Amino acid sequence: MGAVTPVGIGVDTYWGNLTAGQCGIDRISSFDASDLAVQIAAEVRDFVAEDYLPGKLIRETDAFTQYAFVAAKEALEDTGLNDILSRPDRCGVIMGTAMAGIDTIAATQELLTNAVHKNVGPRFVPRILGNIAAAQIAIEYNITGPSYTLSTACASGGDAIGMSAMLLLSGEADMMLAVGADSTLCPLVIYSLANAQALSRENDNPQSSCRPFDSSAKGFVMGEGGGALILETESHAKARGAHVYAELAGWANNNDAWHVTRPMDKGAMSAECMRKALAKAGLSPKDVDYINAHGTGTLKSDEAEARAMLGLFGDTSPAISATKAATGHMMGGGGITEAIACIKAIETGTLPPTLNLTDPVADLDFVTETRTGADIQTAMSNAFGFGGQNSTIIFKK
C-alpha cells in the first residue's frame, strides 16, 4: 500500500494522523487565493518533490503524476520489487484520475493569455495526459503488463481496484498496481465548483468547514493526493510469501442514469451498487462491520448516501466514517486512500472519526470519535462521482 495525503505522506503517517483526528484542511498556501470566494483546501503541504523524485521527472510531470508515482513507489517497495521485476509482463497498472493534468492546463493557458507563448513547454501534452502517470510508473519499474487509465470522476480510484481484480481473474496478470491521484487546486476549478455552490466557503474556520452527514453541511472542501494498492491472485501471493493485508472480496460499478451532478433521490442506484458488491462477495448487509462512506459534506449528496445505507442496512447499521472531513475531497486519490483506511481498520481494529459531525442527517452508527478494539472482519468503501458514477469495494480479513 502507498499513500500521499493532506494528513500525511506514507501509509503509516496517513493512518496515524487520520485516527488521531488531525485535519488537513487550511487556507490555501500554494497560490494567492485571497480574491477567490473559496480560500480553503486540503493541500499536501509537506510534499517536497525533490525528496522523492529525480529532477527530470519533476520537470516533466504534473502534480497528480508525482503523487501517483510516490504512492506507487511505496506500494511497490512494500510488496518487494524483485517479485515485480522477475516477471514484468505479468504485472500491470490501472490508474484512476478525475481531472489528470488540470493544474498544468490552467497555468499554461494563463501564459498564453498573456501572450508568453515561448514559455509553453514542449512537455505540455505529456504532462496533462491521464495515462502518463501509469506510463511513468511502468517506465521506472519496467512493468510491461496491462496498462489502463480510468476516469470515472470521483469513483476513479475505486474503479481502478475493481478493474484490477477483473484483469487478475481473467488471467491477464498475476499482480496489479491500482493507483488513484488528482491535484485540482487551481483557480479555474475552484471558480467553477464555487459557482456551482458545491464548495464550503467557511474560509475563517477551515478545520470545521467540511461536515459530512451533518445537517449544517455547506459543501465539500477540495483535496489532493494519491494512493496505491498492490493486488494479486491468492495463489501468486502465497507462492512468493507475500504479506497479505486483506482479501478483496467484492466490487461493483454502476450509473444512476439520472443527472450530471445531482444525486439520485434516496440514493437508489448507489444502494444497488452496494448490493451488487455484496452479492459478488457472497455476503449479506449484516456481515458488514465498517463503511468508509463517500461522505463529501455536500448536504444533498450526503442525504442521498445516508438514505441508501438506511435502506440497505436498516437497523443493523455498521460503523460508518467519512474521512473527507480530514483529507478533503481527493477525487481520484480518495477512492484508493479510503480503501486503505478500510484495510487498516481490519488490520488494527481502529476506526477513524468523522470530524465535525454533531447533528447527523440520519440514524446511522456514525463514528464521531476514534474507536479502538473493534473486531472488523468486513469493510466497505464507497466512492461516487459526477455523471452518476458509483463504485463500491469490499474487503475481508
Task: Tell me how far apart the alpha carbons of residues 216 and 357 are, in angstroms, rounded to a whole number.
Answer: 9
Amino acid at 73: K
- The two beta strands, 247-255 and 175-183, are unpaired
Residue 154 known to be catalytic: yes
**Dihedral (CA of 112, 114, 116, 121) sign:** negative
Residue 329 known to be catalytic: yes
Task: Tell me how far apart the alpha carbons of residues 84 and 175 are, in angstroms, rounded to a whole number.
Answer: 8
Instruction: Give 87's DSSP letter.
Output: S
Task: Tell me how far apart the alpha carbons of residues 72 and 94 are, in angstroms, rounded to a whole number.
Answer: 11
User: Is residue 349 within 8 Å of 374, Cβ to Cβ?
Assistant: yes
H or E, element range at 230: strand 224-232
> Cell numbers 503541504 label which residue?
45
Catalytic residue among 23, 186, 210, 329: 329
Task: Tell me how far apart the alpha carbons of residues 338 and 318 are, in angstroms, rounded to a whole number.
Answer: 16
Task: Tell me how far apart the alpha carbons of residues 189 and 194 are, in angstroms, rounded to a whole number.
Answer: 8
Catalytic residue among 91, 186, 210, 294: 294
Angle between the N-to-C axes of helices 187-195 and 102-113, in degrees from 0 to 180, rounded to the nearest 10:
100
Instruction: Determine how many CB atoms are found less than 10 A away from the CB of residue 80.
Output: 15
Catalytic residue among 91, 154, 186, 273: 154
Amino acid at 122: P
C-alpha 141: how far from chain center: 23
Query: Annotated catalytic sites, by residue?
Result: 154, 294, 329
